[in-house]
A and B are shown apart, each in its own frame.
Chain A
């Protein structure tokens, strides 16, 4: 037990001291470089399409779905109506929805924590209605999808500047690369090192570009869900106990995860298998 506590404290100290040498742009270049090395023919900009950048057959189906009426269209429209209905535009942080999407996630210096778009929507909803909002699907996912749609074509541009932001980024990075659960696998094991390969019948999506189309519509869910919902699903698949959506651990990981997609276009093509 003593050993475990020492290890956990040491891990915290390591992450804390590591932030002094944080170079997000170098990390991002190495990240992008890895994907270039495993799939030399895939253009950087195409990673906004996720797994469909890798597999032609799946890409055809994806484009057919987009050419018709995408199954999430109605839900996203409803999200727009809900945005108006609940007066979310009255909150300064959401007054310009497109700018809000581009700004998030960011590190709030005063609060000393990473703020996600979903976190801001939930806070604003509570301010306007006095009620609480869920964290993974339903209203939150619909509204977040509509807000993100307003920024389609803009580029992901996560800023990691202060020491606090760098520490949060390093914590998120450590979570992303740490092996966990009974299968002893990290996020990176599937979505970085094995991206493009098959896991049973599915092609593993590349982590690069993952955050350009969130919240996403998944055929498996039959609806829209947030990035943190997906994190929870991946944890469960690895037989690890998921962490609560919007908990600091996932917010920090999203901060790292989004920063790795800096420069990619935000898209409203949010269909995934």
Chain B
């Protein structure tokens, strides 16, 4: 009986929350869409690299190309490219940190 009561209350709580968010809420936003998450990470990383003057040459073009692929329906290709662009931004960020201690080796 207790179990039944708990289950009913839990279901009620979830549905109440869902109603509260309204029909306009995009349930498929953010990390639940792998491409959106990957491209957002790549774009924010690239913006930070540009600000630090440490961006890589091809990252911007890769982001653009990934968006084109996504629009054309090549989801797997788009995701792979967005991830690769994101990886570039992570490496560029690491270079930015290392640049702090850069100096002559003689």
Contact = CB atoms under 8 A, between A and B. Distances in A.
Interface of A: 1, 3-5, 7-8, 10-11, 14, 27, 30-31, 33-34, 37, 173-175, 177-182, 184, 186, 188, 192-193, 235-236, 239-243, 249
Contacts of A184: 91, 95
Nearest to B44: A1
Nearest to A37: B106
Interface residues of B, number: 29
A178 B48 contact: no
Interface in B16-45: 44
B103 A177 contact: yes
B56 A174 contact: no
A241 B100 contact: no
Contacts of A34: 104, 106
Contacts of B50: 241
Contacts of B44: 1
A263 B33 CA distance: 61
A33 B92 CA distance: 32
Contacts of A186: 102
Contacts of B58: 182, 239
B63 interface: no
A10 B100 contact: yes
Given A1-B48, A192-B104, A11 B99 contact: yes
B99 to A, nearest CB: 4
A31 B104 contact: yes
A181 B96 contact: no
Contact of A180 (B59, B60, B95, B97): B95
Contacts of B96: 4, 7-8, 11
A169 to B, nearest CB: 13
Interface string B66-105: 0000000000000000000000100111011111101111
A27 B103 CA distance: 11
Contact of B105 (A178, A180, A193): A193
A243 B54 CA distance: 9
Given A8-B52, A184-B95, A178 B102 contact: yes
B48 A180 contact: no
Given A4-B96, A178-B54, A182-B56, 8 more contacts: A7-B97, A8-B51, A175-B53, A177-B103, A236-B57, A240-B55, A241-B56, A249-B53
A174 B52 contact: no
Contacts of B105: 193
4 smallest beta-carbon distances between A and B, as pairs: A178-B99, A11-B100, A177-B102, A241-B55
Nearest to B47: A1
A30 B60 CA distance: 39
16 contacts: A3-B97, A7-B93, A30-B104, A33-B106, A34-B104, A174-B100, A177-B103, A178-B102, A179-B99, A182-B56, A239-B56, A239-B57, A239-B58, A241-B50, A241-B55, A243-B53
